[in-house]
């Protein structure tokens, strides 16, 4: 059963919907392997689209529902998707970005999502003249084709540049079995178990997506929280006797900030396996959560490209404060020096890793970028760290230039490319600075044109019209001249390092 607010749907009913949707996609002339894009909040329809696409051997392309028209146009064009399934309330922000040759199927926005996101009633309905997903789906017979699996094509920039689609090669039967075993280790979800899984992260992200679909494949009871709210999460755990949750460290921070009487108000004894990832978790936060919730909190480390090669339990976290774990079944982790030689224990270098239980990948249409990310069959996304004598991995530096804010990857190059087009901006640099709640927040340093009259509010308004709100820097600084290297490139480290030095010294 899947639960969203007061709505419920059983597995028999949703499987019938999936078979009709698969038949409908086939009738659209969707070739095997052709991607299907979706821009959906967590909803029943999301599971229908993913599973129906997979039934045809086609990957789904989840699109972050914060994105605006031109950002969506780029992903649709780059991926080659000719079908887009979208919630009704999201249409106004992307309508002008949908290419004419893309078939649009619209899902009415359900009441619990409308209430959570304060969506006006008229925006929840499928606009006249457009195709209603439910009516379209139910107008087709159930397909008789056997169900298949196809990995989602998640768009990620890795560390820099425009988003790249991570496309997995077809999964072989042995890999499928190994992948499920790794998922059981990392996520704690196992076949034929009484598991009640709460999903509160948006499933356009790689980890919540794989977590949610694994729960679906295993027939778990799935509870959808439209948007994370700390006290509501506790109430849902108690109400539904939740056993499994996927979280990010920012959620821990917000939970720990609840008044003590609120923390003690709810019965959390049903929890058996809580897993987190997506961003480093401060050891003191991890310890406080384990003290509150018990030894049920586990952590993985990986990326869209690598899968999950590294994991550790609550007991290991207490023994090795600050670790992100060590290699699990199928996981390979190596640390390399700049010259390509292997680092010794405790020696800092670039982290290369891979989970061999999942198929290798390509960056869709970008073979050179894929080649540049690899070494000895492993992949780097720019992390720097070391392995200790026991094989536990520790991160030292942040990903090169990439900012992780509240578990969300943000790519400064994309923001800089937009900001440089603003009248009055001569040059700019965007980077992450410490934030007590989100881990990092965005800061933009701008070198104005001579005589230009710019304000922080004007810069933010300019960016907000063109980018998702979470990509708009919270701090804007204006400098007469940006520091530059001998080559003329902006010396971003000189702008960023003072903030992190202050943090290491005990500052903000």
Per-residue pLDDT of the chain (508 residues; tens, 9 = 90+): 999 999 999 999 999 999 999 999 999 988 878 999 999 999 999 999 999 999 988 999 999 999 999 999 999 999 999 999 999 999 999 999 999 999 999 999 999 999 999 999 999 999 999 999 999 999 999 988 777 777 899 998 544 457 889 988 877 777 778 888 888 999 999 887 799 999 999 999 989 999 999 999 999 999 999 999 999 999 999 999 999 999 988 889 889 989 999 999 999 999 999 999 877 788 888 999 999 999 999 999 998 888 999 999 999 999 999 899 999 999 999 999 989 999 999 998 899 999 998 888 888 888 787 877 788 889 998 888 899 999 999 987 666 677 888 888 787 878 888 898 888 998 899 999 999 888 899 999 999 988 899 999 999 999 999 999 999 999 999 999 998 754 456 888 889 888 887 665 554 4
Q: State the Cα–Cα distance between residues 20 and 227, nearest whole angstrom.
A: 29
The number of C-alpha atoms within 13 Å of 364 and in the hemisphere containing its C-beta is: 26
Closest CA to 392 of 313, 505, 466, 288: 313
Which pLDDT belongs to residue 503? 63
Q: Residue 382 burial (CB < 10 Å; 0-12/13-18/19+)? A: middle
Given a contact cutoff of 8 angstroms between Cβ atoms, the answer to whether 408 and 156 are in contact is no
Neighbours of 142 (CB within 10 A): 14
β-pairing, 164-168 vs 154-156, is antiparallel
Residue showing tokens 């992200």 = 205
Which pLDDT belongs to residue 486? 46
The pTM (predicted TM-score) of the whole model is: 0.84
Given a contact cutoff of 8 angstroms between Cβ atoms, the answer to whether 243 and 271 are in contact is yes
**Domains defined along the chain, listed by start:** 9-150 (3.40.50.980), 403-504 (3.30.300.30)
Q: State the Cα–Cα distance between residues 476 and 483, nearest whole angstrom.
A: 16
Which pLDDT belongs to residue 383? 84
Residue showing tokens 């720097």 = 384
Given a contact cutoff of 8 angstroms between Cβ atoms, the answer to whether 186 and 244 are in contact is no
* Positive or negative: CA dihedral 392, 287, 474, 496: negative
Q: Residue 211 burial (CB < 10 Å; 0-12/13-18/19+)? A: buried
Which pLDDT belongs to residue 158? 47
What's the angle, vertex CA 391, arms to CA 330 and CA 400, rounded to 5? 85
SS (H, E, C) 388-399: CCCCCEEEEECC
Which pLDDT belongs to residue 352? 95
Q: State the Cα–Cα distance between residues 184 and 456, nearest whole angstrom.
A: 47
**Long-range Cβ pairs for the range 364-372 (8 Å, 24+):** 364/78, 364/79, 364/153, 364/164, 364/165, 364/166, 364/167, 365/78, 365/165, 366/164, 369/158, 369/161, 369/164
**Long-range Cβ pairs for the range 369-372 (8 Å, 24+):** 369/158, 369/161, 369/164
Helix (H) or strand (E) holding 370: helix 367-372
Buried b (16+ CB within 10 A) or exposed e, 269-281: eebbbbbbbbbbb
Residue showing tokens 């003290």 = 291
């Amino acid at each position: 059963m899947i639960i969203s607010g007061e709505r419920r749907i059983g597995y028999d009913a949703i499987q019938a919907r999936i078979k009709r949707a698969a038949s409908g996609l086939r009738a659209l002339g969707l070739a095997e392997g052709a991607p299907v894009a979706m821009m959906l909040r967590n909803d029943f329809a999301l599971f229908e689209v993913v599973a129906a696409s997979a039934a045809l051997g086609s990957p789904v392309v989840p699109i972050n529902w914060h994105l605006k028209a031109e950002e969506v146009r780029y992903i649709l064009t780059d991926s080659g998707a000719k079908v887009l399934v979208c919630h009704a309330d999201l249409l106004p922000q992307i309508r002008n970005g949908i290419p004419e040759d893309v078939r649009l199927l619209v899902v009415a926005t359900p009441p619990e999502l409308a209430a959570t996101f304060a969506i006006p009633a008229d925006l929840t309905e499928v606009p006249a003249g457009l195709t209603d997903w439910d009516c379209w789906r139910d107008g087709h017979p159930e397909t008789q084709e056997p169900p298949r699996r196809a990995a989602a094509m998640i768009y990620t920039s890795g560390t820099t540049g425009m988003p790249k689609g991570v496309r997995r090669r077809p999964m072989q039967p042995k890999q499928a079995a190994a992948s499920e075993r790794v998922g059981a280790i990392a996520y704690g979800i196992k076949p034929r178990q009484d598991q009640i899984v709460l999903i509160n992260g948006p499933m356009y992200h790689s980890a919540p997506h794989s977590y949610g679909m694994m729960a679906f494949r295993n027939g778990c009871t799935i509870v959808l929280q439209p948007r994370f709210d700390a006290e509501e999460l506790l109430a849902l755990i108690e109400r539904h006797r939740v056993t499994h949750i996927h979280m990010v460290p920012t959620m821990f921070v917000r939970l720990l900030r609840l008044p003590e009487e609120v923390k003690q108000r709810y019965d959390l004894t049903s929890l058996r396996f809580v897993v987190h990832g997506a961003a480093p978790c401060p050891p003191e936060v991890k310890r406080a959560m384990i003290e509150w919730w018990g030894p049920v909190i586990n952590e993985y480390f990986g990326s869209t490209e690598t899968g999950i090669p590294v994991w550790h339990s609550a007991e290991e976290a207490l023994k090795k404060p600050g670790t992100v774990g060590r290699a699990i079944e199928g996981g390979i982790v190596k640390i390399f020096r700049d010259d390509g030689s292997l680092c010794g224990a405790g020696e800092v270098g670039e982290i290369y890793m891979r989970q061999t239980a999942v198929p290798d990948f390509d960056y869709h249409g970008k073979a050179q970028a894929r080649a540049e990310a690899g070494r000895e069959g492993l992949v780097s996304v720019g992390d720097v760290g070391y392995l200790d004598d026991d094989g536990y991995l520790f991160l030292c530096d942040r990903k090169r230039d990439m900012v992780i804010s509240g578990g969300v990857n943000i790519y400064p190059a994309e923001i800089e490319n937009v900001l440089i087009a603003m009248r009055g901006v001569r040059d700019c640099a965007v980077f992450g600075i410490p934030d007590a709640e989100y881990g990092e927040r965005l800061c933009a340093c701008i070198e104005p044109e001579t005589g230009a009259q710019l304000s922080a509010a004007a810069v933010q308004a300019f960016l907000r019209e063109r980018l998702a709100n979470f990509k708009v820097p919270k701090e804007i600084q204006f400098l007469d001249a940006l520091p530059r290297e001998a080559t003329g490139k902006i010396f971003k480290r000189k702008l960023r390092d003072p903030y992190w030095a202050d943090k290491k010294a005990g500052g903000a």
